[in-house]
Structure 1
């Protein structure tokens, strides 16, 4: 792993090689399959897989208020994460979302338990987070549809390079081919990733309050009747997405019966989301907004859809540069076809 001695600046992390990759557009497979509400079912998988990287997990443990505002951070983070894929083309090049996301990490650094240093923009650390996003896309399609061919998986890998290039960071850790990536992923799962307090805390959602969009629910009813079965279901769901070496490391059993139930669930999700739900309504607001711009429903220079104010951090934390905290943009009520945001 690269040892980072001091905090990089926005100037020092920019990689000239990233300029070789133009942003993805509506003709890409990534635009077609990324950014749907189905991805919420994989939220614990992505968060826990990221935190299994020793340096990333330590950074989250030391710096993030993720554990104090779990729902809010997840809900608001979906907007810039999706925006790295969509914003540049959807706004005719006006957005710099990838660089904004990169710069949230400029000040995140510290010391590992063994005395070595970590920084969130260590190329190996930053690429691992991206790997969970793009490859999570493949895993989600493998399990819940839309089903992908091997050629489509290779195409998504090649497109993931252009996606990653939008951050303007070192391209050094990026594998050359899809087969190389699979080798990288297996190596990480077997030899690098570790169980960590931040991983277990991500998986432990039973003590969380209701999410902000369910704030009307009495806390007692949530804790007694809703939270326990929800927590059990999502741990089971996340275990189904894990590779076998991760299940073994985390001591999470997975039987043949579990696999059968998981496959049935996948078929049901695919039926509901990809056959019965209209394409526009299965998309997250940031993804839907991008397609609305491409289709002419929304002007290209309209304000980007941002997270609802209920998902913002506390007033005391809103100037902290490690938080994604946009000014909540008022939506233009006069724009035809506009859908309310979540």
Structure 2
């Protein structure tokens, strides 16, 4: 499939063609099992020199890790699942990056909307989809990997970014990914901060867990999630970050992935999906009307009041401070 033919708009449409329920991406990307690769995605993004600098200089991510993670799932997932409104959602996501620019500690200029930098973030989302399916859903055929690659180009077109950084074929993408892992990514503070869960707060989905109990088990959670993440790194990335990975680690990692896949067989189908993804499925299946309001993050995930006017934050309209207000 050529770049000119991938994701082009149909006659009468105002923008690129969004992905739909016939896509393999819809089946995988919004699944709750994606939370198991959140540490992988965050660290891989931050190892990019420009992305890492942007996070270090512009983000309060580490002050509200759970909240930032959970609210980000809504607009990022919406680019996949919002149907005819996905193009507008993608433009909103792109807009959050407009002011993220500066000069890093080495004197290098950066901008989050540098086409190569923005595409790297998207490439990690695409590879996240591969990893979710490979590690926790029983695997993929080579034909399915190629299908996901073709779909990721349609997905990326929705942002309205230049397409020249995007590899033309699946084979070229594999070469691109290997080169990035070997020659471009850096071990930096933003990456190490993402991988440090030693002081992370209690997960919001466990409100019944006493804080003292969470403090006791947090070191185990930290080590477990970092270990799970290391198992999904490409070997050059493990080497860059100084991690060892033995044959017995690989065997245990496969067993954990199979156990997760087995456990999810007992989860009702729609409950496997994040609310924004679930709402997309409901509209596509006719359970909800096509123009049903988009599902937005609940208030508990929002940034502090003082941060809600910043253009880098996703804040649903009903929660945005009034102009001139506090």
Work out the number of aligned pairs and report it: 308
Deviation for aligned residue 1:142? 1.4
Deviation for aligned residue 1:281? 1.2
Helix, strand or coil at the partner of 1:183? helix
Instruction: Give the Cα separation in 2 of the matches to 1:328 and 1:75.
Output: 18
Deviation for aligned residue 1:212? 2.8
Counterpart in the other structure of 2:324: none
Helix, strand or coil at the partner of 1:110? strand
Calculate the aligned-residue CA RMSD, in Å: 1.7
Q: Choose 114-123 or 35-44, whichever is displaced more.
A: 114-123
Deviation for aligned residue 1:112? 2.0
Is the contact made by 2:28 and 2:132 (CA closer than 8 Å) also made in structure 1? no
Distance 1:328 1:228, change over 3 A: farther
Taking structure 1 as the reference length, the TM-score comes to 0.86
Is the contact made by 1:71 and 1:212 (CA closer than 8 Å) also made in structure 2? yes
Distance 1:328 1:48, change over 3 A: farther
Instruction: Give the Cα separation in 2 of the matches to 1:82 and 1:206.
Output: 28
Instruction: Give the Cα separation in 1 of the matches to 2:7 and 2:315.
Output: 26
> For structure 2, which runs of at least 5 residues remain unmatched after alignment?
1-5, 10-15, 320-326
Taking structure 2 as the reference length, the TM-score comes to 0.91
Instruction: Give the Cα separation in 1 of the matches to 2:303 and 2:204.
Output: 12
Is the contact made by 1:286 and 1:306 (CA closer than 8 Å) also made in structure 2? yes
Deviation for aligned residue 1:163? 0.3
Find the partner of 2:253 among 247, 252, 262.
Answer: 262
Distance 1:234 1:109, change over 3 A: same
In the TM superposition, what whole-angstrom CA distance separates every residue of 1:230-283 from its partner, at most 9, and x where no partner exists?
Answer: 10100000001111111111111111111110011111111122x322221111
Find the partner of 1:150 among 139, 142, 146.
Answer: 142
Residues 1:66 and 2:57 aligned together: no
Find the partner of 2:294 among 304, 308, 312.
Answer: 304
Distance 1:44 1:247, change over 3 A: same
Counterpart in the other structure of 2:180: 188
Counterpart in the other structure of 2:37: 42
In the TM superposition, what whole-angstrom CA distance separates every residue of 1:217-237 from its partner, at most 9, and x where no partner exists?
Answer: 4433322x2211110100000
Is the contact made by 2:119 and 2:165 (CA closer than 8 Å) also made in structure 1? yes
Deviation for aligned residue 1:95? 6.1
> For structure 1, which runs of at least 5 residues remain unmatched after alignment?
1-16, 330-342
Residues 1:130 and 2:125 aligned together: no
